[in-house]
Structure 1
Amino acid sequence: MKASYTTALFLFSTLTAPVLAEQSGISFEHKDWEVTCDNTLTCRTAGYANEEGAGGSVLLTRQAGANTVPTGEVILSETDSEDEAPVTKLTVWINGVSAGDLTAAENDTWRLSQPQTLGLINAVKGSGKVEFKGGHTPFMLSNDGAYAVMLKVDDVQGRIGTPGAWTKKGNKPESGVTKAVPAPVIQAAKVSKEPSRLLTQQEITALKPRLMATLTDDLQCDRLNPDEEEKGSISDEESDKLTYIPLDNTHALISTLCWRAAYNEGYGYWVIDKALTGKPAIVTDSGDDYRDGEISWFQKGRGIADCVSMAGWVWDGQTFQKTRHANSGMCRYIRAGGSWDLPDFVTEVKPAP
């Protein structure tokens, strides 16, 4: 059975950071802090309270390159009570002294000013105290893991030993800091407006062996060839049900349910010629939707969906290219749908002409 939640976690190796980042991105977590650096070397660092659901979370975002400055955001934990008034003022206190009010932003987030952000970083990476007041309950930001995660950011972005490092500062010139890596550019292609249909049993019989031949240890579709136990859990409506989706004059997309777990399910998607005579190419075994040339992937980390992972692919006229992969941060009972958007792979997609 397919695992119910897959998070891209790529640890450091002996490869240099830029090379590794071009391939996938880097994620690292320690205690109450985590960081995800995407393939452009932008790093997003999230910190939490010591206890799940207590207070909220902080997000620090820093782009690669010399002399860049981090931005800071805060979200507060959602409450189950409908009677509590909305929060209208949030103040950050650093080492027992007020550092001023935050600015309310979109999606119930709060923005830290640059001085507030830098003050927070300097405090939390050591033994300082950072607290947010004004919410329904005080939010005390944990220090546990902050230094290790910030050191990882400095390492990925080549800042160790420079004045702009968060941790191990030095006198190395900023000109030596690793430059940002350009995001890959993808040109989306127009897709057909023809309606989709179910394959006939004759088409399924001819195509299924070729679909199964595309499967690997990492890409599975148990329901294409279920064992006896699995057959008992598959309804007649789900059994041997493959959908044919026209893409353009020469290509089509095949889709079928591949697996189902406690609170997630995954659909397989394959590109093939419209006549169904060629070799199919698998895109994913865990998609959840196709719409207008885009395949999406969304998986819950647990049933309440306070942590999720997401991915997407777009049709470029020949294949589906991955456009994005992200997770929402730790499972901390903060918000339904997750706390943040932490991509490890991003692209620039140009819309179809």
Structure 2
Amino acid sequence: MTLSKAALVIMATLSAPVLADDSASFSHKDWEVVCDNTLTCRAAGYSKEEEASGSVLLVRKAGADAPLTVDVVLAEMETEDSEAQPTLTLWINDTAQGELEPEDSDTWRLSDAQTRALVDAVKGSGKVEFKGGAKPFLLSGDGATAVLLKMDDVQGRVGTPGALVRRGNKPESSVPAAKPAPVIQAAKTVEAQERTLSEAEAAALKPKLIAALPKDNNCERLASPDPQAEEPDNDITATPLDDGHVVISALCWRAAYNEGYGFWVTDSKMQATPVMVTDSASAYSDGVISLGQRGRGIGDCWASAEWVWDGKAFVQSSESTTGMCRYIRAGGTWDLPWYVTEVKAAG
């Protein structure tokens, strides 16, 4: 499954996506790129899908002369946690390019020289291989040129000396600067337990919740609970946010390996018109509504998002995926955000 397909989980179910105009994503064959709203771009390349041996991540911030970093991970879906981490060596066209620097227990970073050699190789027909693990990681070059060109295009580097693909003589000073991340001031919330509404409370509130759904809502379970469900799935819950607001939750949909809960905000007496936040979240805790949806059953690719309470509303603070479903890592291979913010802690 490519990034674009896995991303449909989040893209199709968020009630009000906040993807900025500057955000971009593109995938082709064994490569993908996601650029967030600050214009930081992250390009990931993988082994062939049937090999599942590893992945590389190229990260570059916006702005003139911004450096490019490359990290490497090996596939770990079938390895033991106790196995010692290997010494990893980069080989290009069957010639050793030196050992990689360990970043932590399971990630390695390329030097500047190794980075240049890797980029030049994947743009052409070069063979890029990492040796030292349980099996060699042969990086596919299929799709690399198109993805790296997209990365250059989003950051305004095409035709400059710093471009990865189409270099030219345009001055580096013409490259757009990074855009600032939006700032969210989180508000204090009260410590309170979630409670299930009584039948009378639920009956009074449910029509308001349904009326607040957007036209393209995905909240069938609220409107039409499943009478065959093994567990009750029509409960509506309320959790106090502060002295004047509560967050309401109800199951909206359930699929083979995901389920989505709707979240609304209303006044503490539940008399005001509810405002919907999303129909596909997973949980609420300490002023944050979070979403985590897997791209397929084995959980090697995920989509995620968060909304932070600012005292008046839940404001979306993040949105990302973990990349292609390539059987590299349980929980996903990388963090590829579309949308980032700076959240200032309450108080």
TM-score, normalised via structure 1 length: 0.91
Q: How far is the alpha carbon of 1:99 from its aligned partner?
A: 1.1
Query: Cα deviations across residues 226-266 of structure 1 (Å, max 9, x unaligned)?
Result: 1xxx6233346323x11110001111100111111000011
Deviations 1:259-300 (A, max 9, x none): 110000111100000011111001111111111001110001
Match of 1:243 among 237, 241, 244: 237
Change (3 A) 1:283 1:71: same
Q: What are the Cα deviations for residues 152-206 of structure 1, in whole angstroms up to 9, with x where unaligned?
A: 0110000011000011110000010011110000000000113321111111111
Counterpart amino acid of residue 86 in structure 1: A
For 2:238 and 2:156, locate their aligned partners in 1 and report how far apart those are by CA, in whole Å: 48
Q: Which amino acid aligns with 2:228?
A: S
Contact between 1:36 and 1:45, CA under 8 Å: does it hold in 2? Answer: yes
The question of 1:22 aligning with 2:27 is answered: no
C-alpha offsets along residues 22-72 of structure 1, whole Å, 9 cap, x if unaligned?
336111000000000000000000001123453100000000000001101
Partner of 1:341: 335
8 A Cα contact 1:5 1:300, kept in partner: no
- The corresponding residue for 1:233 is 228
Moved more, 87-96 or 76-85: 76-85
Residue pairs, 1:164-313, within 5 angstroms: 164-226=162-224, 231-235=226-230, 237-239=232-234, 241-313=235-307
Aligned residues: 338
Structure 1 vs Structure 2 CA RMSD: 2.0
Is the alpha carbon distance of 1:332 and 1:180 closer, same or farther for their aligned partners in structure 2, counting shifts above 3 Å? same
Q: Secondary structure at the match of 1:35?
A: strand
Q: What residue number does 2:56 align with? A: 58
Matched, 1:317 2:311: yes
Residue deviations 1:286-322, cap 9 Å, x none? 1111110011100011110011111011100000111
Is the Cα–Cα contact under 8 Å of residues 6 and 301 in structure 2 kept in the other structure? Answer: no
CA contact (8 A) 1:246 1:252 kept: yes
Counterpart CA distance in 2 for 1:53 and 1:209 is 51
- Note if contact 1:9-1:26 (Cα within 8 Å) is conserved in structure 2: no
Relative distance call for 1:79 and 1:318 in structure 2 (3 A) is: closer
> Which of 8, 17, 29 is matched with 1:6 structurally?
8
CA contact (8 A) 1:5 1:299 kept: no
Of stretches 87-96 and 311-320 in structure 1, the one that deviates more from structure 2 is: 87-96
Q: Describe the shift of the 1:151–1:24 C-alpha distance in structure 2 as closer, same or farther (beyond 3 A).
A: closer
Contact 2:301 2:325 (8 Å CA) reproduced: yes
Distance 2:280 2:10 in 1: 14
Q: Which runs of 5+ in 1 are unaligned?
A: 11-19
Over 3 Å counting, the alpha-carbon distance change for 1:141 and 1:9 in structure 2 is farther
Please state how far the C-alpha of 1:4 moved relative to its aligned partner.
Answer: 9.2
Q: Distance in 1 between matches of 2:11 and 2:156?
A: 20
Matches of 2:283 and 2:81 in 1, distance apart? Answer: 36
The aligned residue for residue 37 of structure 2 is 39
**Alpha-carbon offset, residue 327 of structure 1:** 0.3
**Alignment gaps of 5+ in structure 2:** 13-17
Aligned to 1:17: none
Instruction: Say if 1:107 and 1:286 are closer, same or farther in 2 by CA, change over 3 A.
Output: farther
Q: Is the alpha carbon distance of 1:44 and 1:236 closer, same or farther for their aligned partners in structure 2, counting shifts above 3 Å? A: closer
Q: Compute the displacement of 1:217 (Å).
A: 3.9
- Aligned residue type for 1:206: A
> In the alignment, which residue of structure 2 is the partner of 1:69?
67
Aligned pairs for 1:87-102 (under 5 A) are 87-102=85-100
Contact 2:10 2:304 in 1 (8 A): no
- Measured against aligned partners, the alpha-carbon deviations of 1:111-138 in whole angstroms (never above 9, x if no partner) come to 1112111211111111111110001111
Distance 1:317 1:82 in 2: 46
In structure 1, distance between residues paired with 2:56 and 2:255 = 32
1:207 Cα deviation from its structure 2 partner: 0.9
**CA 1:9–1:276 in 2, change beyond 3 Å: closer, same or farther?**
closer
Question: Equivalents in 2 of 1:36, 1:83: separation in Å?
Answer: 30
Residues of 2 paired with 1:88 and 1:338: CA distance? 21
Distance of 2:137 and 2:220 partners within structure 1: 45
**Matched position secondary structure for 1:154:** helix
Residue in 2 aligned with 1:149? 147
